[in-house]
Amino acid sequence: MANYSNVGNDSTSILIDDGTAEELRNTITKNLLGYSPLPAQCCIFRVPELIRRQKTAAYEPDIVSIGPFHRGCGEKFQLMENVKRWYLQCLLSSRADISLDSLIKGIMELGRRARDCYADPLEHLSQKDFVQMMILDGCFLLELFRKELWDDLQDENDPVFNLSCMLEYLYHDLLLLENQLPWFVLEGLYNLTANNTNQRNASLIKLVLNFFRQAVDERILDPNFPFEILHILDLIRTVTVVPFKDLESQKKEGHVEEQEEQKNEPELPQRIPNATTLSEAGVQFRRSKNTPECIMNIEFNFKNGVFTIPPLGIDEKTGPLFRNLIAFEQCHHSRLHKITSYAVLMDNLIDTSNDVDLLREKKILANWLSPEDAAQFFNELYNDTTVIGFYYGSLCNDVNKYYNTDWNRWREKLKRDYFSTPWAVISFIAAFILLVLTLVQTAYTIHPING
């Protein structure tokens, strides 16, 4: 006779016999995971759908797939897949001391660790396919960076350097969060394929930064970072935020340091008026004198109301780069929201095309888009993201305190209405003298001087 158990204690209780309970137990137990679906070492993610939907094209490659996420996704990648195989053949044939066996062995030793860097389980990729992909993609990147640094390595038949548009497409594709290889894979291949003394003296960091020199501070050629680089996009973020003068708490960038100091709760940044409104209240905007300067080193002097902002160039590549940097900060547990904080502050300052024009006149923005498109760029840059540990909180407090001081607005109105031009100053002085003379004449009329 079957035993039954009651699930629930009301009239809608369900009777489950022992056989059904055992079947459910076996099914649930079978589907349990003995490991985290997103281990701490994951550093290459698919962009969350809430963020991706804002501008899908900013997160997807145009001509080349790097890594597993976009592998085999269409004919648009076929040319570069052929270039990858050609680059590897040229590399192997140019050196007697580089063998395919050594590359395979080196990557197989890193295989498990490399797979764990991807947020997806990659169950569709066998070990053989994964190792082959790492070798083809990694050697392609290294040869591309070397050819960019040393012109004599370029082949006259190379479509990458013969077609003027190709490098622009590659700048976009190679800085996508979903289009990354683990940095230690690139390092392993770099150490196995450095061709001569000159190439060995050019570190991997130097090779990468030279290729992306349009996007980074040109003074940073080979910095010594106090923590591990995760991939190329992380390197670009690092050279952007490491020079940042964190006036809030002098936070230290790094795995342990960042994670320990990161706040647990999202902080809603206090908004400040846009640049045009602040200007009308007496705030002055100046371009940073240190050029080039870390774009994040924005300062506000409460005593004289001066906003000092490093220059920023805006073109078609700026949006995808910032969006992927922000998506990376949103996904990775030990990368603080510094780029996101910058986007929030700039969105506060730029509401309309008038704000863009004002900052462009001050040489703070170098804008190759229309003023309307530039304003929209900032207004939509960090939609559907969370800001944890907003880095410009004190600055915003000072700005709002200055703006809400009545005297500052009155003084600016007086200067704008009566001292904006030399003729206005002359008219004001003349009116003041006339007023004084009128008062003197009135005083003499009321109290005449006795002779």
Give pLDDT tens digits for 29-43: 888 877 677 777 899
Residue whose C-alpha is closest to residue 355's, from 383, 333, 377:
377
Residue whose C-alpha is closest to residue 268's, from 389, 400, 399:
389
Report pLDDT for 439. Answer: 73
CB 237, CB 335: distance < 8 Å: yes
Residue whose C-alpha is closest to residue 189's, from 66, 80, 100, 64:
100
Residue whose C-alpha is closest to residue 224's, from 210, 203, 245, 207:
203
Report pLDDT for 444. Answer: 73
CA distance 451 to 316: 83
What is the mean pLDDT of the segment spanning 332-340? Answer: 93
Q: Quick one: tokens of 410?
A: 């009155």
pLDDT per position as a tens digit, 165-186: 899 999 999 999 999 999 999 9
Q: Where are the alpha helices (DSSP H) in 95-231?
A: 100-115, 127-149, 159-162, 164-173, 183-193, 197-201, 204-211
Domain boundaries, the chain: 49-241, 255-407, 421-446
What is the mean pLDDT of the segment spanning 237-254? Answer: 64
CB 146, CB 153: distance < 8 Å: yes
pLDDT per position as a tens digit, 46-72: 999 999 998 999 999 999 999 999 998
Strands 4-7 and 14-17: antiparallel
Helix (H, G, I), strand (E, B) or coil at 4: strand
Q: Long-range contact list for 211-216, CB < 8 A, 24+ apart?
A: 211/144, 211/145, 211/148, 211/149, 212/171, 212/174, 212/175, 212/236, 214/171, 214/317, 215/171, 215/175, 215/317, 215/321, 216/240
pLDDT at 376 over 70: yes
CB 58, CB 323: distance < 8 Å: yes
CA distance 94 to 368: 42
pLDDT per position as a tens digit, 292-316: 678 899 999 988 999 999 999 998 8
Q: For residue 184, what are the CA distances in angstroms to 114, 134, 230, 253?
A: 8, 11, 8, 20
CB 17, CB 3: distance < 8 Å: yes
Q: Quick one: tokens of 435?
A: 């007023």
Report pLDDT for 235. Answer: 94
State which H helix or E strand residue 82 sits in.
helix 78-94
Amino acid of residue 398:
D
* pTM: predicted TM-score of the whole model, two decimal places: 0.82
DSSP 8-class letter at 451 = -
Strands 306-309 and 299-301: antiparallel
Residue count of the chain, please give it: 451
CB 381, CB 319: distance < 8 Å: yes
Residue whose C-alpha is closest to residue 349's, from 269, 263, 262:
269
